Amino acid sequence: MTTTASARKGRFGWHMNAVGIIGAAIILFWMVVAIAAPWISPYPVGQIVDFDYYGPMSAQFWLGTDYLGRDMLSRVLMGARYTVGISLAAVAIACFVGVTLGMIAAVVGGWFDAILSRFLDALNSLPSLMFGLVVVAAVGSSMTVLVLTIAVLYAPGSYRFARALAVNVNAMDFVTVARARGEGTIYTIREEIFPNIIGPVLADFGLRFVFIVLLLSGLSFLGLGVQPPNADWGALVRENIGGLSFGAPAVIMPSIAIASLTISVNMLIDNLPRRIRDRSE
């Protein structure tokens, strides 16, 4: 009896393996940092605190100094706010909108599906940096504008992906049974379709998150992203790229921060409890 119970739990329970827990811990760590950054960073972000540029790691400046002699630790901690906050918010909005619309389009079909698909295809054809440039030129740069712009850019891809999955599930007999029972669209989507596409949708979420981190640093490089003296991690790498030849921590540390975040997001998603991940099997 106990063996069957434990086998059941292992196969379809909430149990998560070590890799997934490590991923979750790193993400949690960066989220805490993002929230607490103003209180824990040792120096103000924009203040030049050292005459030496690309300074090495020392007891005074844990992560060295950047190309102007600013404290890197403070800049990385504050950068977490932008990278983690904007990317997570943007990916969450993009996936929520895209997946919801994708499922509705798959279930409703007909002209609704056709018009929505063509509209989102048209949106997909806009070059992302160009679109960002136009939006920022028109309304100025702020965190809200950045989050929404990036969400708009990434929602169509998410829509396409979810719609393709949902169309397959929609053809299954249990959806037909629900329809024959007289169920409405919302019930069908929420109870019959969504639980069966959640696994691949989450994997897509992780991938999209990484792309958004990259786009964000691209926007910052063009001066459209986070405005100086603040900087997200991508921008920190860009502005300190000259220090690469000196092996300065100023360029290496933000790179490590980006890598740790993106890898851990994917580590978490690939190792989510089977209860969530394997639902679509």
Partner 1 sequence: MGNVVEIRDLHVSARTDSGRTVEIIKGVDLNVGAGEMVALIGESGSGKTTIALTLLGHTRTGCSIRKGSVRVAGRDVVAMSGAERRRLRGRQVAYVPQSAAAAFNPSQTIMDQVVEVAKIHQLMPMEEARQKAIGLFRALALPDPETIGLRYPHQVSGGQLQRLAAAMALIADPEVMVFDEPTTALDVTTQIEVLRAFKSVMRERGMAGVYVSHDLAVVAQIADRIVVLKGGEVQEEGATEQIVTAPKHGYTRALIDAFHPRPHEAAATERPGPETPVLEVTNLTAGYGAIGRDGRPEYLALKDVSFRLERGRSLGVIGESGSGKSTLARAIAGLLPPAIGQIRMDGVELGRRTKDRSKEDLRKLQIVFQLADTALNPNRSVGAILSRPLTFYHGTRGRECEAEVDRLLDMVRLPKALKHRLPPELSGGQKQRVNFARALAARPELILCDEITSALDTVVAAAILDLLDELQRELGLTYVFVSHDLSTVEAVCDRVLVMYQGEKVEEMPTSRMKSGAEHPYSKLLIASVPQLDTGWLDGLDRERASPGAEAGR
- Residues paired with 48 in a beta bridge: 70
Q: Are 75 and 231 in contact (CB under 8 A)?
A: yes
Q: Does 110 bind partner 1 (CB under 8 A)?
A: no
Nearer to partner 1 by Cβ, of 59 and 281: the residue is: 281
- Residues paired with 70 in a beta bridge: 48
Binding mask 188-227 for partner 1 (x = CB under 8 A): ---xx--xx-------------------------------
Q: Does 13 bind partner 1 (CB under 8 A)?
A: no
Q: Does 173 bind partner 1 (CB under 8 A)?
A: yes
Report d(CA 31, CA 81) in Å as an integer.
8
Q: Does 18 bind partner 1 (CB under 8 A)?
A: no
Nearer to partner 1 by Cβ, of 103 and 224: the residue is: 103
Work out which of 114, 176, 186, 247 binds partner 1, going by CB under 8 A: 176
**Smallest separation, CB 43 to partner 1 (Å):** 51
Binding mask 244-273 for partner 1 (x = CB under 8 A): ------------------------------
Q: Does 238 bind partner 1 (CB under 8 A)?
A: no
Helix-strand-coil percent breakdown of the chain, rounded to 5?
75, 0, 20
DSSP for 157-218, written as a single string? HHHHHHHHHHHHHHTSHHHHHHHHHT--HHHIIIIIIHHHHHHHHHHHHHHHHHHHHHHHHH
**Smallest separation, CB 176 to partner 1 (Å):** 6
DSSP for 2-16, written as a single string? HHHHHHHHHHHSS--
Nearer to partner 1 by Cβ, of 238 and 279: the residue is: 279
